[in-house]
Amino acid sequence: MAGKSKQVVYSGIAHEQILTIMLFIAKKGYPDTSIKFCDQLYDFGETLGSYPEKYTICHHNPFKKRNLRCTPFKNFVFIYSVSEAAVTILAIIHSSRLK
C-alpha cells in the first residue's frame, strides 16, 4: 500500500527553467506545443510526491555530494531533494548539460 504523498514544491529556479523551456519552444514556432510541454513538466513533477525515493541519488558529483535525486523526463532531468514533509524540485535541466 502506498504511503501518503508528499507536497511538491518548485524552487524559483525550477519555475524559471520551465518558463525558459516554454519560451524556447514557442520561439521555434510551436506556441501550443510549448504550453502542453510546460504542463507535462509540471504534471511529471507532481508525480514525484507519490514515490520520491523511486529514483536514485544523482551520479553527478555536485548533486551526489548534496544527496540530491535525479530523474529523466524526455530530454530533461529533474533534480530534487526529499525531506520528511516535501519534495523540492530544485532544477530542470536538459540532459545534454550533464554529459
Q: How far is CA 63 from CA 28, 34, 83, in A?
A: 31, 28, 16
Residue 93 has pLDDT above 70, yes or no: yes
Q: Give me the long-range contacts of 47-53 (CB less than 8 A, separation at least 24).
A: 48/8, 48/78, 48/80, 48/87, 48/89, 49/5, 49/6, 49/7, 49/8, 49/87, 50/2, 50/5, 51/2, 52/6, 52/80, 52/82, 52/87, 53/82
State yes or no: pLDDT of 98 exceeds 90. Answer: no
At 1 the pLDDT is 35
What integer pLDDT is reported at residue 61 of this predicted model?
85
| Domains located in the chain, CATH noted | 7-94 (3.30.2310.20)
Per residue in 5-60, pLDDT (tens digit) is 899 999 999 999 999 999 999 999 999 999 999 999 999 999 999 988 888 898 88
Cell numbers linked to 74: 524526455
